[in-house]
Amino acid sequence: MTPVQSEVRPAAPVALSSASVYPERAAAAFELAAELGYDGVELMVWTDPVSQDVAAIDRLAERHGVPVLAVHSPCLAISQRVWHSDPIVRIRRSVAAAATLGARTVVVHPPFRWQRKYVAQFADEVARAGEHVGVALAVENMYPVMRSTVRTVPYSPGYDPTDVGYAHYTLDLSHTAAAGSDALAMLERMGSALTHVHLADGSGSARDEHLVPGRGTQPCAEVCERLTASGFGGVVVVEVSTRRCRTREDRTELLAESLLFARLHLQPTAGATLAKKAAHTGW
């Protein structure tokens, strides 16, 4: 009987979104990522001046030994003037920043409906950005917004990017909760184009909660396990809200719990791999 050699792949890297330390700033994300053992940082470019300074971010990454694994383009409602008022310019600067920092992915949201010129240009710009070697522009799933009792969709053509079809996607599990979407079904629709994951949770309310994974209703564990089983080659980013934490210690505890959850459920299982191979080979 010939022994079967294990073909277990390493687990997907787990990064910390700099948005997860808000209201602390980008520097705190690098400090905490290094302290807790994250594999890197996803840089959220927004109103924090340091997040807009690529050279300063590069110095933080070097100082703490924590690489930037992704850049989140400034496409939130609060960051519409960050870097430039033209969203196409913001995308291009995001791609350039990612290339400078050595990040493989830029995360971008679908355009808002009132950005009519941008809506017309978005798909072509996303495709054009893919011409930059080593940088994937991954469009993120979003969610409707409740105003009083009225449910509106502020994105064009909608909040589910798989309805359009892009070369790369970001799956956000807090957003699937807020949208009432089936996260596993969306995972399947994204298929091999899934490049990036925002790991968080939600209770199913209409609010974008970004709970610690495992504290809501989303199938966070199963998503992680399916990523590993499929040989996912992207990055899993912890993007949770810690804004209500009163102290750095409280924030650290939530981020440590989130990292532990990710590591546990992304860990390849050697026994399962061997059993699968044995079933195919008759060993």
Contact between 198 and 142 under an 8 Å Cβ cutoff? The reply is: no
**Residue 53 falls within a domain, yes or no?**
yes
Query: Rounded CA gap, 30 and 180, in Å?
Result: 33
**Residue 5 falls within a domain, yes or no?**
no
- Work out the average pLDDT over 129-147: 86
**Residue 1 falls within a domain, yes or no?**
no
- Residue 275's pLDDT is 38
Contact between 142 and 159 under an 8 Å Cβ cutoff? The reply is: yes
- Work out the average pLDDT over 179-186: 97
Higher-confidence residue of 210 and 270: namely 210
**Residue 4 falls within a domain, yes or no?**
no
The residues that bridge with 155 in the sheet, in sequence order, are 112
> Per-residue pLDDT tens for 39-69?
999 999 999 999 999 999 999 999 999 999 9
Least confident interval from 13-27, 131-145, 157-171: 131-145
Domain with 143, as residue range(s), is 14-278
**Residue 249 falls within a domain, yes or no?**
yes
CA 166-219-236 angle, to 5 degrees, is 55
Least confident interval from 122-131, 134-143, 154-163, 265-274: 265-274
- Residue 151's pLDDT is 84
**Residue 8 falls within a domain, yes or no?**
no
State which amino acid sits at residue 126: V
Q: What is the CATH number of the domain that holds 197?
A: 3.20.20.150
- Residue 7's pLDDT is 56
Least confident interval from 69-78, 91-100, 157-166: 69-78
What confidence category does residue 134 fall into, taking pLDDT thresholds of 50, 70 and 90?
confident
| Domain total of the chain | 1
- Residue 5's pLDDT is 46
Higher-confidence residue of 134 and 260: namely 260
State which amino acid sits at residue 173: L
> Per-residue pLDDT tens for 223-275?
999 999 999 999 999 999 999 999 999 999 999 999 999 999 999 874 344 33
Kind plus residue range of the DSSP H or E element containing 170: strand 169-172
**Residue 3 falls within a domain, yes or no?**
no
Query: Rounded CA gap, 173 and 220, in Å?
Result: 7
**Residue 202 falls within a domain, yes or no?**
yes
- Residue 277's pLDDT is 41
Kind plus residue range of the DSSP H or E element containing 152: strand 150-152
Pairing relationship of beta strands 194-199 and 169-172 according to DSSP bridges: parallel
H and E: helices and strands count for the chain = 9, 10
